[in-house]
Amino acid sequence: MISDRMNNPFVDFNEKSSFLTGNLSDLGGSFIPESLPHREEQILQMAKLLGSLMRNGRPSNIVVYGRTGTGKTSTTRHVMRMLTDATNGYVRICYINCQINDSQYSVLVTLVNLFSADSEENIPLSGWPLDRIYSELVSRIKRSSRPLLLVLDEIDRMIAKSGSDSLYVILKLGDDVDGLSCSIIGITNDTSFSERLDSRVRSRLNQESMLLPPYNASELKDILSYRTKGILREGSLEESALNLCAAIAAREHGDARKALDLLRVAIDITIRNSSLVITDKEVIAARERLEIDILRETVKSLPLHTQIVLLSCVVTQEVTRRPSFTGEISRNYSEICQELGNSPLSNRRVSDLISDLDDIGLISTRIQSMGRNGRSKLIQLEENGDQLKKYLMEVDSLSSFVGAGLGKQSRLNLGNDNDPAN
């Protein structure tokens, strides 16, 4: 008998796990802990570079380099928190993520609005000319009568979209605020960032650089141990599981964010399974969950004949090294079906499956005029052909495909660029 009403599944997750003693969100990338293990040297270096703020001086501009997960943002924000404590909030610190605000206009508008006492003082996100926004910003900085330290995270994104001039205008603030200190900290994983600036901007930036090296496995283990204090009951995390999290992240270029995400998901899996100890098993399951290859899963979830059509697109392009016509794809599709022992679909149905593959972004199609021969549809792969073929060969129904006859047929029959097939 079919139940009239499904039980609410959230009720099963209502009880707090016995080994969770703190907030699991504290393992998230946005959480800045009280201490950053193995970044003490960089924290001290940044503090020295900004030390002149304690003497009402103007510090150098700083650019912080490092790969993803090396703690660039966390280290910078940790130092900003220490600076705020040391100056009782006297230094005005403004943080802007240039991945979100990636143009000169949006950065300046966001910065102006950070100086607003309330929402009524906010300027609109569009409609003001750039010179008016800049004048308003200079005016508000002057009224604040406090040094400004502007942190531009992912600063390379702004340069890539808007060019060097976007940074030039921001750097010019230092000359236009009547003696008030105005400095910039840029954060980027692009080691060629400064080289891509034009000479005017590079000269005005005149930065001091900091490089945060990747963490090794031992350092990542220390970070995980520190971050789980107060979150997990002692003894609920096996040493081998901790080592495995650190080792996996160390192979991923020393990415601390990867290690923390891996452990957080492993803890979540342990809770869902009503287990009491986080083991290697949960870490491995967490890695599989985090590293699901969307392309692989998409390919494997396709219906069989759609997979064969996609395989035909791949092997046809291997031979021709150019966009392929629908007729070429259809002929090779039939050859593959014959080799695998499947009955081929009609050409019209194959054309429909090609359109389906276009809809999900695995291939792209365009119509090309063939003159007196009418029009034909050209097909090109949107993903790496070798990768697609590898995933297709993992499908049991396709794993026996060799394509020996297909290669011979392709060389003889697929060189006709004027194929009028649709």
Q: Which two tokens stand for residue 378?
A: 């050209």
pLDDT tens profile 212-270: 999 999 999 999 999 999 899 888 999 999 999 999 999 877 899 999 999 999 999 99
408 or 378, which is more confident? 378
The DSSP symbol for 400 reads: T
pLDDT digits (tens, 9 = 90+) for 133-142: 999 999 999 9
Element (H, E) at 108: helix 104-114
DSSP notation for 174-216: HHHSTT--EEEEEEES-TTTGGGS-HHHHHHH--EEEEEPPP-
C-beta separation of 422 from 377 below 8 A: yes
DSSP structural state of residue 52 = G
What confidence tens digit (pLDDT) does each residue in 140-191 have?
999 999 999 999 999 998 998 888 888 998 999 888 888 788 999 999 998 8
- Measured N-to-C along each axis, helices 404-413 and 304-320 cross at an angle, to the nearest 10 degrees, of 50
Of 19, 14, 13, 29, nearest to 231 by C-alpha is 19
Categorize the per-residue pLDDT at 422 as very low, low, confident or very high, splitting at 50, 70 and 90: very low
| Helix (H/G/I), strand (E/B), else coil: 95 | strand
Query: Would the pLDDT of 9 be above 70?
Result: no
Alpha-carbon distance 168 to 202, whole Å? 9
Tell me whether residue 368 is exposed, middle or buried, using C-beta atoms within 10 angstroms of its C-beta: 0 to 12, 13 to 18, 19 or more.
exposed
pLDDT of 2 above 60 = no
* Beta carbons within 10 angstroms of residue 190's beta carbon: 16
Buried b / exposed e along 22-36 (16+ C-beta atoms within 10 A): eeeebbeeeeeeeeb
The CATH architecture assigned to 36-212 reads: 3-Layer(aba) Sandwich (3.40)
Give the pLDDT band (50/70/90) at residue 418: very low
Dihedrals φ, ψ of 179, to 5°? 85, -10
Q: For residue 402, give Cα distances in angstroms to 51, 243, 297, 389, 399.
A: 67, 42, 23, 12, 8
The pLDDT value given to residue 47: 96
Render pLDDT for 370-402 as a digit per residue (tens, 0 to 9): 666 667 788 999 878 888 999 999 999 999 998
Radius of gyration from C-alpha coordinates of the chain: 29
Rounded-to-integer distance, Cα 70 and Cα 189, Å: 10
- Of 32-41, 315-324, 409-418, the poorest mean pLDDT is in 409-418
Query: SS3 for 314-374, per residue?
Result: HHHHHHHCCCEEHHHHHHHHHHHHHHHCCCCCCHHHHHHHHHHHHHCCCEEEEEEECHHHC
* Residues 114, 117, 118, 123, CA torsion sign: negative
The whole-number pLDDT of residue 325 equals: 87
Q: Are 23 and 231 in contact (CB under 8 A)?
A: yes
Tell me where in the chain the CATH 1.10.8.60 domain(s) lie.
215-290
Total Cβ atoms within 10 A of residue 290: 14
Whether the pTM exceeds 0.85: the reply is no
> Contact 224/38 with Cβ under 8 angstroms?
no
Three-state SS annotation for 225-254: HHHHCCCECCCCECHHHHHHHHHHHHHCCC
Domain with CATH 3.40.50.300 in the chain: 36-212
Q: Do the Cβ atoms of 150 and 170 come closer than 8 Å? A: yes
Residue 65 DSSP SS3: strand
d(CA 350, CA 333): 8
**pLDDT value at 417 more than 50:** no
215-290 CATH: 1.10.8.60
Residue partners of 266: CB distance under 8 A and separation at least 6: 241, 245, 278, 282, 283, 285, 286
Answer whether residue 354 shows pLDDT above 80: yes
Chain centre to alpha carbon of residue 422: 39
CATH classification code of 297-413: 1.10.10.10
- More confident call, 408 vs 345: 345
Helix (H) or strand (E) holding 83: helix 72-86
Give the pairing of strands 363-369 and 375-381: antiparallel
